[in-house]
Every structure is written in C-alpha cells, then in structure tokens.
Chains A and B, each alone.
Chain A
Amino acid sequence: MKALTHLDEAGHARVVDVGDKEETRRVAVARARVATTAETIAAIRDGTVPKGDVVAVVRVASITGAKRTSELIPLCHPLALTHVAVDVVLDPRGVIEIVVRAECVGRTGVEMEAMTGASVGALAAYDMIKGVDRTARVLSIELLEKSGGRSGHFVRERSQVMLVSHRLCVDDVLEAVARDQAGATVVFLGTVRDHAEGHAVTLLEYEAYGSMALAEMQRCVDEIEAGDVRLAVAHRTGPLHVGELAVVCAASAPHRQDAFAAARALIDAIKHRVPIWKREHGVEGPRWVDWKEQPS
C-alpha cells in the first residue's frame, strides 16, 4: 500500500513536511455558485436587499475565508498569501457566481485558500439574501485552475465532450449547450439498472480507449449538429453502482422537435461507435457485455 503522507508512523494526523521543496509561484482559481431567484439578483443590483451590499460583503467574506484556511482545514499549512482577488458575477437568471483567485510564493499549493474563499463567500451570500429568498442554495464549489506545483497546470475542462472517472454532473453538460437561440433543451440520462436479460446486475465497470473515445464523441457531435442545434455529452469510466449516471447527453435547439431528434441521434451514435466497454457483475460473475465467440 502507498504510504499515507498526512499520517505519521503511529497513524496520527500531521501537517506534511514540505521544508525541502522549492518555493514556486502558485496560483489557484476556485468558483462557487449560489442559486437564487431573478428577483433577488435584481434586488442585489438595485441595492435594495435589507441586509445591505451583498457583493461587497461577499467579497470581504471570501478574502477572510481564504486567509483563515489553515485554521479551518485541519491539515493545511498556513500560507503567506501574496494576492487574493474576488469576482462576484450576478447572473440575471438567478445565479451568484463567486470566483476567487489566490496566489502565493511557497512550497505547497494554494487551491484550498481559493476553495475556502469561494465557500465562505457563498455562505456569506446566503446569509445576506436568506431574508428575501430562503430557498437559495449553494450549487457547486469547485477548483477551476491551479498552477505552480509538481502536479502541473490543471484547468477544469468544460467542453462539448467529456470522459470522466468521477460522478457526472448534469449541469456541466447543460452549461455546454446553453445558448440564447435555444428554446428547447433535451437531456438524456443513461443510468445503471439492476438487471440485464433477466438476471441481476450489481455493478458495471466502464473501460474506454480514452483519446479515441473523446475524438469519436466529438465526431458524433459534429456530424449531428446542424443549424442552431448544439450538442454535448459526458460519459463515465470506472466502476458504477446501480442508479449511477453512466452518460449524459444534451441537445439544445430553437424548437423542441429538433432538440428531441438530435438528442436521440447523439445517444444512438454514441452507443454504436464510441470505444467504451462495460463489464457486468451479476450472479454468474463478471462478463464483458456483447463479448462472445462468433459462429464460424
């Protein structure tokens, strides 16, 4: 087993020793999104939220959150931040977006500062608006970008085609097809069901020829997209349990007929062409779906 870096020999938690690492310039960008009503966004813009200036409070809260990270997150080093910048974007459709950029020159990454800043900003936003919209909720907290460490430059991709080993997020796919021309969006969700051909299924393992799967999904998208139809797809890899999302396809178009047709064409093409395989686990042990000797 790989040694756990944040436990000592006796198994106790520790802040890992980075004393020998080179100091480098580190940058991280994180984003939190809070869903609320269009009326609340308008009230924030107009400065009529009873509690006061939401944007100013969120900005200060995010900065404070970033600076206090090492006190809140147990195994984080205290970092000497050189820069924290907060962008608060008000989407008139009812989303407050808080983007925190944190920088330092140091021996360890600054992403937890950006993430904590975004999180605290989101909670402060909720606190400011809960009097006018109790149903508001934090939609997401995520790292968008990170650079400066040994792990290289990370940028979260939000492309039209995605192949991921973590839980699929329907919103990511919807975001990729969102357009002002769209009057209809159709989403297809493929989930793991508990049976196949009359027998019970407990787990599916998805394997992909990654680079070709992405290229082939893009080719499917390019071939089906026409006019104002916009498509996106995200597919899972790895072990999936019953009920988990295996694939998300979305199609947007000015009118629903085209959106339905394109979504259907996309999932059909993906199932037919994209080099992804699944191993089904059931009572008779694992087997690769559709893998059988052919009659000679």
Chain B
Amino acid sequence: MTCVHLLAFAGVREVLGTVDLEFPVEATTARGLLDAVCERYPKLAPYASSLRVAVNGTYAAWDDPVGPGDEVALIPPVAGG
C-alpha cells in the first residue's frame, strides 16, 4: 500500500499535531479519504462537516478520485481578508 501526501493547516494542523504526513491509502474518493483520516484521528471527527478537501491544489468534489501520490489538503473554514 502506498500513501497520499496529507497537508494539515490551521485548526486541522493543531488537531493532527503535524503539518503533513504520509497517509496510507488505496484508491478512494475525497469523502473516503476524509472518513479514513477521521477514523485514525477521532478528535478531527467533530469538525469534519466543516472541512473541504483539495487534491493537488484544487478543491475536490466529494466523489472525486484520490489515489497514492496525490497531495491532499484538509481545508478548514477559510478566513482570509
């Protein structure tokens, strides 16, 4: 099994305790990946419905494919400006 490169920012980074990690995954979807991360990091679950997923620098739809080698970011509610 290989991995996605998972990036964590802001609140997600603090819950996961790291800025990035190699997260082992089979081919799945954005939704599937988020569920898998929440399973491994239960403390993230209460925030899950506020998160968006970006794959290789672009927002993904929930059923978009995610596979080994992708850069996947968990995007908390944005607050720029």
The answer to whether residues A209 and B7 also contact, given A270-B81, A291-B47, A294-B49 and a CB cut-off of 8 A, is yes
Which of A272, A274, A275 is packed against the most chain B CB atoms within 10 Å?
A: A275
Which of A235, A267, A292 is packed against the most chain B CB atoms within 10 Å?
A: A292
Give bound CA distance, A296 to B49, whole Å.
Answer: 9
Residues of A with C-beta under 8 A to B54 = 209, 212, 275
Closest to B12 in A: A291
Is A279's CB under 8 angstroms from B10's CB? yes
A212-B73, A276-B79 known; 12 new pairs, CB 8 Å cut-off, are A190-B81, A207-B9, A276-B80, A277-B9, A288-B14, A289-B77, A290-B77, A291-B10, A292-B50, A294-B46, A294-B48, A294-B50
Residues of A with C-beta under 8 A to B59 = 273
Tell me the smallest distance from the CB of A188 to a CB of chain B, in Å.
9
Is B76's CB under 8 angstroms from A288's CB? yes
Is A291's CB under 8 angstroms from B77's CB? yes
Residues of A with C-beta under 8 A to B10 = 207, 277, 279, 288, 291
Tell me the smallest distance from the CB of A107 to a CB of chain B, in Å.
36
B57 at the interface (CB under 8 A from A): yes
Give bound CA distance, A121 to B52, whole Å.
Answer: 52
Is B75's CB under 8 angstroms from A275's CB? yes
> Number of contacting residues on A, CB 8 A?
31
Instruction: Choose among B11, B50, B80 the residue that contacts A247 (Cβ–Cβ < 8 A).
Output: B80
Residues of A with C-beta under 8 A to B48 = 294
Give bound CA distance, A206 to B14, whole Å.
Answer: 15
A246 at the interface (CB under 8 A from B): yes
Chain B 17-47: CB-based contact to A (< 8 A → 1; otherwise 0): 0000000000000000000000000000011
B1 at the interface (CB under 8 A from A): no
Residues of B with C-beta under 8 A to A275 = 9, 54, 73, 75, 78
Instruction: Choose among B11, B46, B49, B81 the residue that contacts A271 (Cβ–Cβ < 8 A).
Output: B81
Residues of A with C-beta under 8 A to B57 = 211-212, 215
Is A296's CB under 8 angstroms from B81's CB? no
Binding site for A on B (CB under 8 A): 7, 9-11, 14, 46-50, 54, 57-59, 73, 75-81
Tell me the smallest distance from the CB of B62 to a CB of chain A, in Å.
16
Q: What are 18 inter-chain pairs, A to B, with CB distance below 8 A?
A: A207-B9, A209-B73, A212-B73, A235-B81, A270-B80, A270-B81, A273-B78, A275-B78, A276-B80, A276-B81, A277-B78, A279-B10, A288-B10, A288-B76, A290-B50, A291-B47, A292-B47, A294-B50
Closest to A296 in B: B46
Residues of B with C-beta under 8 A to A101 = none
Is A289's CB under 8 angstroms from B79's CB? yes
Give bound CA distance, A290 to B77, whole Å.
Answer: 6
Residues of B with C-beta under 8 A to A279 = 10
Closest to A211 in B: B57
Closest to B13 in A: A207
A278 at the interface (CB under 8 A from B): yes
Residues of A with C-beta under 8 A to B81 = 190, 235, 246-247, 267, 270-271, 276
Instruction: Choose among A207, A276, A294 the residue that contacts B47 (Cβ–Cβ < 8 A).
Output: A294
Residues of B with C-beta under 8 A to A277 = 9-11, 76, 78-80
Tell me the smallest distance from the CB of B79 to a CB of chain A, in Å.
4
Tell me the smallest distance from the CB of A49 to a CB of chain B, in Å.
46
Tell me the smallest distance from the CB of B18 to a CB of chain A, in Å.
14
Give bound CA distance, A253 to B75, whole Å.
Answer: 34
Instruction: Choose among B7, B49, B76, B80 the residue that contacts A235 (Cβ–Cβ < 8 A).
Output: B80
